[in-house]
Amino acid sequence: MIIIGEKINGTRKAVAAAIREKDAQFIRDLATSQAEGGSTYLDVNAGTAPEREPDDMAWLVSTIQAVCDLPLCLDSANPAALKAGLDVVNTSPMINSVSGEQARIDGVLPLALAHQTDLILLALDDKGIPETVEGRMEIVRKLVGMALDGGLTQAKLHIDPLVTAISTGTGNAILTFDTIRAIRSEFPDVHITGGASNISFGMPLRPIINRYFMALAIQAGLDSAIINPNDRELKAAIMTAEMLMDRDKYCLTFNKAFRAGKIGPKPD
């Protein structure tokens, strides 16, 4: 499972304050804890005003890289902010994200192609999020085609079918699972990702909903997620689902995590 650590995001009050006050230690601690939690990438979202965001993105990238060598997922719809991050990043990053919205196609896609980065593609366009699998697949096909024409391989593409809240439509989880299956069938070598916690927005017992959702999404073909890598119970659900789906040879990942105290009862 490709885990994209979600916590360095300026929409969170504590992170916004750290960015505003240039509290480097706070950001470094977040980066280190997510790396220790098993992240594959660290999402980096400044979330500040457009005129400030390029400088804030560059500062975040430099601050994180001082203590962590994980690849970063540069998260912004602002091409200037993405370029600022690309200018200082040490390791080829992921860009989050390009959708079917013309502004992102025009502003963000050329950066990903020029730098040949990994790239998250969103199944939405200027009309919004389609309410059918086929509507989402039409956008996915268009974006995948543009990315492949620009020199990216399927392995560099991370398709987000878009997880929407079960509280706003009880068929939303099924729609996500069916879209995942359609993507996996048509583009077998891409990665499929998403924000797992979106499913439980507005509901009680959100952690339980998130865990069961992730297990079912993995069964449908999900192989990546934007999550809190230090959520022990969610990680246990992910590792269990992958093991049961024969994606953990000899159960090595599950057993190693258990012996290291990363899943199961917390060590004394």
Place of tokens 């017992």: 205
Report which of 206, 144, 131, 209 is spatially closest to residue 172, judged by C-alpha positions.
131
Res 221: pLDDT? 98
Phi, psi of 144 (to 5 degrees): -60, -45
Are the C-beta atoms of residues 192 and 175 closer than 8 Å to each other?
A: no
Segment 12-36, tens digit of pLDDT: 999 999 999 999 999 999 999 999 9
Strand pairing report for 118-125 and 157-160: parallel
**pLDDT reported for residue 266:** 84
pLDDT for the residue 231:
94
> CA-CA distance, 209 to 20, in Å (whole number)?
34
* pLDDT, tens digit, 9 for 90 and up, residues 66-117: 999 999 999 999 999 999 999 999 999 999 999 999 999 999 999 999 999 9
Domain segments of the chain: what residues?
1-91
Q: Is the pLDDT of residue 240 over 80?
A: yes
The two tokens of residue 150 are 């620009």
Calpha distance 158→144 (Å, rounded): 10
